[in-house]
């Protein structure tokens, strides 16, 4: 039996431009070329808020029709997050994945996203201390709710699509993404499919998405169901409204990096 495996990957890096003036930012953004060993690190080795790595594989049997025997995700295909402001973990949302097979190709789609909870966690910590001093019950929850109302941010997210063909070709694209922050999209050079992730090189595809002018719009319109299926998009894939997260517990865990 004449079989071969095709594995390839694409990735997007979502980052906050220093021109926003926000406390949490990633300078001038990621470089135009990044290395595979960097993309799965979550220690600020690369400047990003989160990284969407879509990696998938198909098995092709040249003696059969259709030729594509099986398809699957690799274990590396997921979200990678740098710590948020104050070294506080951001909150990741459930990954959405779909596989659309056809006789000569398989289309993989992956949506990942997260949001910073630094304002809520910091307020919760301060509120808890204030409650001990003043004797106010549930001061931490009250502080968290107030912080979320005034400073809570919507999810940031991207949806990527990778098509693997039976003849060995692959095509990658960003389908849609949140209005904010800025975003770079990367793919591996032609002919590098099946190369191990750790030794891969990813090159920037097209100009980065500049989200600077969309910050205020995203803060007000980044909530609720998504409003379109391509390009910068209002809302979010999970349909989360701001009130959905008002009383949601937040993890005050911090990372040491």
Considering the domain boundaries, does residue 137 fall inside one? Answer: no
State the pTM of this model: 0.86
Strands 170-178 and 231-233, sheet pairing: parallel
Considering the domain boundaries, does residue 201 fall inside one? Answer: yes
Classify 35 as helix, strand or coil.
strand
Considering the domain boundaries, does residue 104 fall inside one? Answer: yes
Considering the domain boundaries, does residue 90 fall inside one? Answer: yes
Rounded to a whole number, what is the distance in angstroms from the first to the last CA of the chain? 49
Considering the domain boundaries, does residue 227 fall inside one? Answer: no
Considering the domain boundaries, does residue 141 fall inside one? Answer: no
Count of all residues that appear for the chain in the document: 257
Give the domain range for residue 75.
Answer: 3-114+156-215
Compute CA distances 145 → 87, 121, 139, 158, 188, whole Å. Answer: 21, 10, 10, 27, 44
State the total domains in the chain.
1
φ/ψ region of 138 (left if φ > 0, alpha if ψ in -120 to 50, else beta) reads left
Considering the domain boundaries, does residue 177 fall inside one? Answer: yes
Query: Which has the closest alpha carbon to 173: 195, 205, 199?
Result: 205
Compute CA distances 57 → 107, 195, 257, whole Å. Answer: 11, 12, 33
The answer to whether 173 and 206 are in contact (CB under 8 A) is: no
Alpha helices in the chain (DSSP H): 36-39, 118-134, 139-151, 215-221
pLDDT in tens, the chain (257 residues): 588 899 999 999 999 999 998 888 899 899 999 998 888 888 888 899 999 999 999 999 988 887 899 999 999 999 999 988 778 888 899 999 999 999 899 999 999 999 887 666 766 665 544 443 344 444 456 545 555 454 568 999 999 999 999 999 999 999 999 999 999 999 998 766 667 676 688 999 999 999 999 999 999 999 999 988 899 999 999 999 888 765 455 554 443 22
Considering the domain boundaries, does residue 238 fall inside one? Answer: no
The answer to whether 42 and 80 are in contact (CB under 8 A) is: yes
């Amino acid at each position: 039996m004449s079989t071969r495996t095709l594995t390839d990957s694409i990735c997007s890096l979502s980052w906050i431009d220093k021109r926003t003036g926000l406390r949490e930012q990633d300078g001038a953004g990621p470089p135009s070329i990044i290395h595979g060993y960097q993309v799965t690190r979550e220690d600020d080795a690369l400047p990003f808020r989160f990284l969407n790595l879509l990696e998938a594989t198909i098995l092709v049997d040249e003696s059969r029709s259709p030729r594509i025997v099986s398809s699957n995700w690799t274990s590396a295909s997921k979200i990678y997050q740098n710590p948020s402001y104050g070294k506080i973990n951001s909150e990741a949302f459930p990954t959405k994945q779909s596989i659309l097979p056809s006789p000569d190709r398989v289309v993989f789609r992956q949506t990942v996203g997260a949001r910073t909870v630094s304002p809520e966690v910091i307020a919760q910590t301060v509120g808890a201390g204030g409650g001990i001093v003043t004797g106010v019950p549930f001061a931490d929850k009250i502080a968290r709710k107030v912080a979320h109302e005034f400073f809570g941010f919507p999810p940031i997210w991207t949806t990527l699509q990778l098509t693997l063909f039976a003849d060995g070709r692959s095509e990658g694209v960003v389908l849609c993404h949140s209005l904010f922050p800025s975003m770079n999209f990367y793919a591996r050079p032609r002919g590098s499919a099946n190369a191990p992730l750790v030794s891969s090189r990813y090159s920037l595809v097209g100009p980065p998405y500049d989200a600077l002018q969309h910050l205020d719009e995203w803060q007000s319109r980044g909530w609720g169901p998504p409003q379109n299926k391509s390009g910068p998009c209002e809302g979010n894939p999970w349909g989360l409204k701001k009130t959905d997260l008002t009383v949601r517990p937040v993890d005050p865990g911090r990372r040491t990096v």
